[in-house]
Amino acid sequence: MFRTTLTTIAGAVLLAATVASADEIKPAVVFDMGGKFDKSFNQGVNDGVMRFKEETGIAYREFEVTNETQREQAIRKMAQRGSDPILGVGFAQVPAIEAVAKEFPKARFTIIDGVVDLPNVQSVVFNEHEGSFLVGMIAAMASKTGKVGFVGGMDIPLIRKFACGYVAGAKHANPKIVVIQNMTGTTPSAWNDPGRGAELTKGQFDRGVDVVYAAAGGTGTGVYQAAKDAGKLAIGVDSNQNYLHPGTMLTSMVKRVDVAAYNSFKSALDGTWKPGFQALGLAEGGVDWALDEHNKALITDKMKASVEQAKADIIAGKIQVHDYMSDNTCPR
């Protein structure tokens, strides 16, 4: 009862705001706990919205949450101020977006890495398992010992999705490959613990690993440093991290959250913003493996050919990469 009243009022206010300035938008972004300078996921979003601001000159509101309850508070505040569209970053914001989007049916919301099924919400998820499959293949082909490693951040389903795709890719390239997996920690600090990342990586090297893939946010910098120190190979994640240590960085699993963030604001400005579900995989360019001047010496023509072949097969549907999140299991 109360909710409906509030919704009506808010709707009316928002409508008035939209009519007043039809061509301008007032976008807003709510970053998650990692913060906008985490060198990884949130920073990707930050890059995207900054690019939007530079190109269009339209300023946006932003907030970085520090605890569970602030997500809903911040998103509701943005909506109350008439921000539109509102961009939520990370799967943890799903319940918050769901609650606020119901209260403000006239406002537009975009959630990255999560799905909210409402008529005013755009959900963008990435097929990380497909990108991880490709870098898994590269890791297996580059490994001389037949053992490759995986260092995850926090042990949550999303990271298991990365791990599962990676293992499948490695096995696709070399059925006898051994994959050693470690998770960094059990609290959100696992996303930014380079010291522990380095320790885990050294442990994996001691067990014979010679290529390691990090899907651990800021923790990855420690993983790459350890690989450089030991003269082994490492694979970056989310952003193209090949430039960090040329000669050590074998490749990166690129996840274009910056494009998703930019597109959300840009499409709202152009009037092409649409609600609904988007899964950005290899076919859409949402995920990919990175090849540039920093790592081209490490990638042989044979590796490149077979990865590109697998990529085409995945896009064509000839190779099915199992998505951990579809059933919360990973086939062995």
Partner 1 sequence: MSAAPAELPRWIDIGLIPVINICLALLVSGLIILAIGENPVEAMAIMIRGALGYGEGIGYTLYYTTNFIFTGLAVAIAFHAGLFNIGGEGQAYIGGLGVGLAILAFDSTLPFFLLLPLGILAGAAFGAAWAAIPAWLQAYRGSHIVITTIMFNFIAYAVMVYLMVNVLIKPGQMSPESREFAAAGQLPFMHEMLAGIGITVTPTPLNLSIVWALLCCVGVWAYIWRTRWGYELRAVGHNEAAAVYAGARPRHIVVAAMCISGALAGFVGFNEIMGVHHRLLLNFPAGYGFTGIAVSLMGRNHPVGVVLASLLFGVLYQGGAELAFEVPTITRELVVTIQGLVILFSGALAYMSTPWVTRVWRALLAWRAGAAAAEGA
Q: Which positions lie near partner 1, rule CB under 8 A?
A: 1-3, 5-6, 33, 35, 62-64, 66-70, 73-74, 76-77, 91-92, 94-95, 113-115, 154-158, 185-188, 325-328
If the CB atoms of residues 21 and 37 are measured against partner 1, the closer one turns out to be 37
- Contacts of residue 218, defined as CB under 8 A and 6 or more positions apart, other chains included, come to 34, 38, 39, 40, 191, 192, 193, 194
Q: How far is the CB of 248 from partner 1 (least distance, A)?
A: 30
Tell me the two tokens of residue 3.
Answer: 């909710």
Shortest Cβ 156–partner 1 spacing (Å):
5
Cα 315 from Cα 319, distance rounded (Å): 8
135: how many CB neighbours lie within 10 A of its CB?
31
Q: Please say which residue, 141 or 183, places its beta carbon nearer to partner 1.
A: 183
Q: Which amino acid is at 267?
A: S
- Closest contact distance (angstroms) between CB of 228 and partner 1 is 29
Q: How far is CA 40 from the centre of its chain?
A: 8
Closer residue to partner 1, CB minimum distance, 81 or 296: 81
Q: What is the CA radius of gyration of the chain?
A: 21
Q: According to DSSP H, which parts of the chain are helical?
A: 2-20, 41-56, 68-80, 94-103, 128-142, 157-173, 194-206, 220-230, 257-270, 301-316, 324-327
Rounded (10°) CA dihedral 95, 31, 61, 259? -100
**Min dist. Cβ of residue 69 to partner 1 (A):** 5
Residue at token pair 């604001």:
265
DSSP result, 237-275: EES--TTSSTTTEEEEEEE-HHHHHHHHHHHHHHT----
* Residues 116, 239, 151, 133, CA torsion sign: positive
Query: Minimum CB separation from partner 1 for residue 94, in Å?
Result: 6
**3-state class (DSSP) for residue 5:** helix
Smallest distance, partner 1 to C-beta of residue 263, A? 21
Q: Which lies closer to partner 1 via its Cβ, residue 99 or residue 269?
A: 99
C-alpha to C-alpha distance for 52 and 46, rounded to whole angstroms: 10
Exposure of 251 in the CB half-sphere (CA atoms within 13 A): 27
- For partner 1, the closer of residues 43 and 251 by Cβ is 43
Number of CB atoms found within 10 A of residue 235's CB: 33
Task: Pick between residue 125 and residue 148 the one whose CB is nearest to partner 1.
Answer: 125
Long-range contacts formed by 117-121: CB under 8 A, 24+ apart: 117/277, 118/275, 119/275, 120/275, 121/97, 121/275
Q: Which is nearer to partner 1, 91 or 273 (CB)?
A: 91
Shortest distance, position 3 Cβ to partner 1, whole Å: 8
Closest contact distance (angstroms) between CB of 197 and partner 1 is 17
Which of 46/240 has CB closer to partner 1? 46
CB of 154 to partner 1, least distance (A): 7
